[in-house]
Structure 1
């Protein structure tokens, strides 16, 4: 019995017993396990077995495990729970990705088949919210812009974070005529727009806004510089309730007036400069959006000039029915903006923002303020969200300076 216990003590003595005999027991760390050629998982299993043997021996000798052994066992248990949680989180993320892809496929199938979606009816309230970017592109063979005269295109990029497009990286690229927003102080100014691109993959943004070269017969190789982000913020598409909406004689569709309201998060107020001023970007602003019937000929829209009928928005019949022989209607439902080639009117909203947003305007504006504060990001994060880098996309404009 004595000799047997001595052997056991040599192999399974607790840290407390080791201290009495001048011996110190050491546990292999995960890093040392990896260095010795064992995987972290294998090392963890050996640690668990080692602690279990220590506990069994201490119970047989003194009736209960030492405090230190009990703490080791608890720590291993906590690590196990963390591993289980991490595994569950990874599984949930995988399932979300699968569901997201399935949702995308279903949406595309509905879109192609012309099947009516639940969100394809006009309604009031906040229809959608998400991230908004304003970007401009210098003219061909112009590496740096110094004013509006040096830019070829101005874009609004919408990345929804709510509704049916809340998953993935769905986005709409709107090309803005006159290369700027309507003047904020104007009573009624109308600028043409065009949905120039719709996508579901962040990588396509780099293709849309990146630099490229092309060949011409008369001028040879031409270079188009990359777009420059000028501002980033939070947006909502909101349809205020009209007091006359219940009148049977009222123009029902026009009751669904839709505003694109936004609040800039990058740059900060202190960094607002000439770029934002000349592009008509406010720290907090709104414009009215209307959509043109694609079956009606365009008149004076430079962004739609020369676009053949087959390249215009191909709306399914249930969306075409909403026009009811009207040339323009509010962009409500927002699915009217989901079709490349859709022609738009971008119109000033001359009132204070809360007044433009209707009876609940103050609350809606408060919600916009809150969401914008939560979404404040650094300039580096803004570029990262677009799949861009400083080397490819100069960030000077986000500091108020032309680039």
Structure 2
């Protein structure tokens, strides 16, 4: 039986971190037309792979890889810029892009079947008064993957990348017993910096790798490892993703900023591994979505941008950034600034009017944590078995949840 975190009502304290501004100096040039080029993995892993081996794989032999999004000097929030209008040329070329040139993304891209009500713990319509500041809530899973040929990383340096899986539920829903159930609406968020930011001084770019994903797709395309051959390095092995934690989350708004607040339910006690990854019992991040009409910060460019519909793109106006909305995360390659908050979830639950903490969002997230704690206790096996059972996978096929490297 998994050991889950007991509900706590302690109020975090601490000074408010610097918020991510709506305008940042990300370069003067407008973004060029997005073209279908190399895959995300080729772009972000190519430079690291070549540096380690002094060679390029046969998949990248004709192209020079861009600077990796893992590079530590990619900090787009160091400066501000008031001249935030994209050029007319960029705006027109962006609007002329066709959907055939894009990856499938957005609400209509991969219509998921309705969830089976008999196999989901989500009980909709059970919350009478949901705080309007909660834009979305659900279950969050934290994973990481070792570098090529490193099955069991012994430190953060041997991690290729960290990930979040967001499984939204209706804001008026509560959690009952059993697995969460597959609604086909999960998102896979990649964090190239490997660790999660813990203070306002730590801010970097994350991106949406998969949207509207089923648990089956996550098992086959993300969780599992794979083997492949290269002409120069021979056999290579990409290790399976390893679980780090599971919990509940809420995307909230204070009117000025958007936040992703979370509470960990598994493991019951965070260890050195979770600490090195930057995870807390109760933590939050400021989220700001990048306007794809502008060039990406150095070292963070993806092969192509998100296929935002016209109304979403127009909502940026001339701004380089805007507070993240859940709908932004429904498009593959959407990039957002992830800013740490050192005082836990306090900023995420700040009231819009007087700057004081609003207890209603806190109470709702606390209730969700209590329900998830009870739910995970009822799932069979240890922490790993409970997490993978929640994702519809057999724990024996994947690495265990560890608390130390």
Please tell me the TM-score bracket, short chain as reference: 0.5 to 0.7
The CA deviation at 1:109 is: 6.7
State the Cα deviation string for residues 285-309 of structure 1 (Å, max 9, x = none).
100111111121111244xx3x33x
One of 136, 140, 143 as aligned partner of 1:132: 140
The CA deviation at 1:392 is: 2.1
Which stretch of the first structure deviates more once superposed, 164-173 or 355-364? 164-173
State the Cα deviation string for residues 28-55 of structure 1 (Å, max 9, x = none).
xxxxxxxxxxxxxxxxxxxxxxxxxxxx
SS of the aligned residue for 1:366 comes to helix
Q: What is the 5 A alignment of 1:244-393? A: 255=256, 257-269=257-269, 272-302=270-300, 305=301, 307-308=302-303, 311-332=304-325, 334-351=326-343, 353-359=345-351, 361-376=358-373, 377-378=376-377, 379=383, 380-393=385-398
The CA deviation at 1:361 is: 2.5
Do the aligned partners of residues 392 and 383 (structure 1) sit closer, same or farther apart at CA in structure 2, a change above 3 Å counting? Answer: same
The answer (yes or no) to whether the contact 2:252–2:258 under 8 Å persists in 1 is yes
Do the aligned partners of residues 132 and 352 (structure 1) sit closer, same or farther apart at CA in structure 2, a change above 3 Å counting? Answer: closer
State the Cα deviation string for residues 219-250 of structure 1 (Å, max 9, x = none).
12211110001000000000024xxxxxxxxx
Write the distance in 2 (CA, Å) between the matches of 1:175 and 1:394: 19
Which segments of 5 or more consecutive residues in structure 2 lack a partner in the other structure? 1-105, 112-130, 174-180, 352-356, 378-382
SS of the aligned residue for 2:248 comes to strand
Give the equivalent residue in structure 2 for 1:90: none
Do the aligned partners of residues 355 and 346 (structure 1) sit closer, same or farther apart at CA in structure 2, a change above 3 Å counting? Answer: closer
Do the aligned partners of residues 163 and 318 (structure 1) sit closer, same or farther apart at CA in structure 2, a change above 3 Å counting? Answer: farther
The CA deviation at 1:364 is: 1.3
Larger RCO of the pair (alpha carbons < 8 Å, separation 6+): 2
Which stretch of the first structure deviates more once superposed, 381-390 or 315-324? 381-390
Query: Does residue 182 of structure 1 match 2:175?
Result: no
Give the equivalent residue in structure 1 for 2:404: 401
The CA deviation at 1:325 is: 1.3
Give the equivalent residue in structure 2 for 1:172: 187
Q: TM-score, normalised by structure 2?
A: 0.60
Q: TM-score, normalised by structure 1?
A: 0.60
The answer (yes or no) to whether the contact 2:148–2:236 under 8 Å persists in 1 is yes
The CA deviation at 1:353 is: 2.3
User: When you count helix as a share of all residues, which structure comes out higher?
Assistant: 1
The answer (yes or no) to whether the contact 2:200–2:339 under 8 Å persists in 1 is no
Larger radius of gyration: 1
Which segments of 5 or more consecutive residues in structure 1 lack a partner in the other structure? 1-105, 112-122, 242-254
Which stretch of the first structure deviates more once superposed, 351-360 or 163-172? 163-172
CA-atom RMSD in angstroms: 2.5
Structure 1 segments (4+ residues) deviating >3 Å: 163-167
The answer (yes or no) to whether the contact 2:389–2:395 under 8 Å persists in 1 is no
Write the distance in 2 (CA, Å) between the matches of 1:289 and 1:390: 32
The answer (yes or no) to whether the contact 1:161–1:167 under 8 Å persists in 2 is no
Give the equivalent residue in structure 2 for 1:240: 254
The CA deviation at 1:167 is: 7.6
The CA deviation at 1:140 is: 0.6
The CA deviation at 1:163 is: 5.6
Write the distance in 2 (CA, Å) between the matches of 1:140 and 1:224: 5
Write the distance in 2 (CA, Å) between the matches of 1:164 and 1:346: 27
The CA deviation at 1:352 is: 5.0
